[in-house]
Amino acid sequence: MTIINDTPAHVLDQSTINKLKNVNTTAIIDVLARNNYDPRYIYMPNIKSMNPGKRIIGRAITVRFVPARPDAMIEKPTGEESPEYAAFELAGPGDIIVMESMRNKIMSIGGDIKFLRLKQRKVEGLICDGGIRDMHTVKDYGLGLWGYGKTSNLGTKIGTPYSTNDSINVDGVLVRPGDYMVADDDGVVVIPRKIVKNIAIKAIEYDDLEEWIRKKLDKENLTPGKYYPPDDEVMKIYRQSKK
Distance (Å, whole) CA 178 – CA 32: 17
pLDDT, tens only, 98-126? 999 999 999 999 999 999 999 999 999 99
Q: Which fold has domain 8-193?
A: Glucose Oxidase; domain 1 (3.50.30)
Kindly tell me the burial class for residue 118, based on how many C-beta atoms sit within 10 Å of its own C-beta (0-12, 13-18, 19 or more).
buried
The four Cα atoms 147, 151, 154, 158 give a dihedral, to 10 degrees, of: -50
**All residues at 6 or more sequence positions from 197 whose CB lies less than 8 Å from its CB, including other chains:** 9, 10, 12, 16
pLDDT tens digits, one per residue of 133-154: 999 999 999 999 999 999 999 8
Domains of the chain: which residue ranges? 8-193, 199-242
Omega before residue 224 within 30° of 0, cis: no
Asked if 83 and 64 touch (Cβ cutoff 8 Å), the reply is: yes
- E strands, the chain, where? 43-44, 48-49, 56-67, 95-100, 125-128, 131-132, 144-147, 149-150, 159-164, 168-170, 173-175, 180-184, 187-191
pTM above 0.85, yes or no: yes
Spatial separation of the C-alpha atoms in residues 157 and 114, rounded to whole Å: 17
Please give the pLDDT value at position 111. Answer: 96
> Digits of tens for pLDDT over the chain (243 positions)?
655 666 677 999 999 999 999 999 999 999 999 999 999 999 999 999 999 999 999 999 999 999 999 998 888 899 999 999 999 999 999 999 999 999 999 999 999 999 999 999 999 999 999 999 999 999 999 999 999 999 999 888 899 999 999 999 999 999 999 999 999 999 999 999 999 999 999 999 999 999 999 999 999 998 999 999 999 999 999 999 988
